Amino acid sequence: MRLLLFSFIAIITNNSLQAQGKWDLRKCVDYALTNNISIKQTDVQAKIADIQYDQNKVSQYPSLAFSNTTSLNSGLSQNPTTFGLSTQSYVYAGFQLQSSAQIFNWYSKQNTIIASHWQAEAAKASTDKLKNDIALTVANSYLQILLTKQQEKIASIQLQQSQAQLDNTKKLVDAGSLAELNETELESQVETDSANYITATGNVEQSILTLKAYMSIDAAAPFEVDEPPVEQIPLEKIADLQPEAVYTLALANLPQQRVNEYKLKAAEKNAAAAKGEMYPTLSLFGTLGSRYTNLGVDLVGFTPLNQPFGVVTVNGIDYTAYTAAPIYDKTSFFRQINENFGQSVGINISVPIFNGNSLRDNWETAKLNIKNAELQKEADNQTLKQDIYQAYNAAIVALEKFNASEKAVEAAQRTYDFTQKRYAVGMIGTIELITNQNSLLSAKLQYVQNQFDYVFKVKVLEFYKGQGLKL
């Protein structure tokens, strides 16, 4: 039954993914932000921080608790009605309603509440940071798929060209126009190009699996990406991405900088709360309580025994007094609760005098935490600036390499075209043709590699602006 259920779920999942159609970059990023497990885990931690904040807010209100104690007592114990020692077994029940509230604690609790608020905000900003990181990683993986697909196409064209040259050369060899060595050399080239094509196809599948992992998609699920021309991917001009301007925007917009700022504020409030703990605390308390026991009795009357025990004189007249036995009855539950009802209210002052210097140590530690948060903020800002300048330099280099590789492809194409013409009339051998063909292949592969490298480098700079990826 369980296997059947899992199979059904798998079918539904696969059908859902197939219904998605081709995946463009926006769809990939949105899906990853919703389904990535790391993001879900970070979001859980943010919710836990929110709960802690709510708990700290509620803690400033008075507490109220009801307690009940019910027991069966036997052996030597104190009678709850006469308060004397007795060996009689009895049932006892006590009820108590208690409330307490801190009136003044040098704002320690209030600062703790504010600190937990900033900690919750820092947790949310950490989730935003991870989402940004995942979005950038998904974008890189998506571009890697496009790159490997372009490389696969180039390898396929190269294989087709080599096969066509081999077919033509076979005809020339059969006709006696070329030596058989030419055919053998081209056969070797076809095998090399076939291996290159197989490798390129494997690289495509590997890059797809990598993207699926970041998106938390089953590796066996069908998946096909949209393949827009790389020239249509929106890019900001490199002149509009000057590092100092990008750094200014990054400080204001990136989640990591908000994380550091919120953690610093939380540390400051925690230090204030720790300082308040060293001073007296004033609290108000109140209690309502009552009790019941099955030994409770009331005097309800007397029974005459008609036995004289003496003479009593009243207004000069003598009367004979007779004995009588008292009559008791069990006291009801609610009457006992009413008769035993008690109240108390008071004020409590707690003054820390000696506690192993723990409170002062906590304060000193909290102040060091502030310093540590300041240093972390400074270090992250320095790292961010360094990364932005390095990213800008990498983008400039990538642009120059891209422009140079474009010219290299044009030159290699002209050389190869000229070589083909010379080979067709028998002016050069197969080795020279293959060499020029491989040079053109390498130039094309390097061109697409540099093109996608430049696109990603610019995307990194756009990402540092903290305004999201332009997809």
Q: Identify which of 99, 32, 9, 138 has the alpha carbon closest to the alpha carbon of residue 463.
A: 138
Determine the longest span between alpha carbons in the chain, in angstroms. 170
Say yes or no: 268 and 303 in one domain.
no
Say yes or no: 222 and 319 in one domain.
no
Asked whether the beta carbons of 125 and 105 are under 8 A apart, the reply is no
Residue type, 317: I
Say yes or no: 397 and 275 in one domain.
yes
**101 is a domain residue:** no
Q: How far apart are CA 427 and CA 385, in angstroms?
A: 58
Helix axis angle, 108-174 to 255-276, nearest 10°: 160
Say yes or no: 220 and 366 in one domain.
yes
**290 is a domain residue:** no
* DSSP annotation of 302: E
DSSP-based three-state secondary structure for 311: strand
Q: Count of domains in the chain? A: 2
Say yes or no: 308 and 407 in one domain.
no
Token pair for 194: 């076939």
**100 is a domain residue:** no
Say yes or no: 113 and 145 in one domain.
yes
**163 is a domain residue:** yes
Q: How far apart are CA 195 and CA 192, in angstroms?
A: 5
Per the rule left: phi > 0, alpha: psi between -120 and 50, beta: everything else, 277 is alpha
Q: What percentage of the chain exceeds 90 in pLDDT?
A: 71
Question: Taken in order 281, 286, 292, 297, is the CA torsion positive or negative?
Answer: positive
pLDDT (0 to 100) of residue 20: 56
Say yes or no: 175 and 305 in one domain.
no
Say yes or no: 261 and 303 in one domain.
no
**332 is a domain residue:** no
State which residues of the chain have pLDDT below 50. Answer: 1-19
Residue 308: domain span = 299-325
- CA dihedral (213, 218, 222, 227) in degrees, to 10, reads -20
User: Which pTM does this prediction carry?
Assistant: 0.80
Residues in the chain: 471
Question: Taken in order 426, 427, 432, 434, is the CA torsion positive or negative?
Answer: negative
CATH number for position 442 = 1.20.1600.10
Q: Identify which of 359, 301, 299, 363 has the alpha carbon closest to the alpha carbon of residue 331.
A: 299
pLDDT (0 to 100) of residue 80: 74
Say yes or no: 246 and 113 in one domain.
yes
Say yes or no: 27 and 174 in one domain.
yes
**316 is a domain residue:** yes
Say yes or no: 394 and 313 in one domain.
no
Say yes or no: 274 and 306 in one domain.
no
Q: Identify which of 337, 438, 461 has the alpha carbon closest to the alpha carbon of residue 392.
A: 461
Residue type, 403: N
**347 is a domain residue:** no
Token pair for 71: 């027991």
**86 is a domain residue:** no
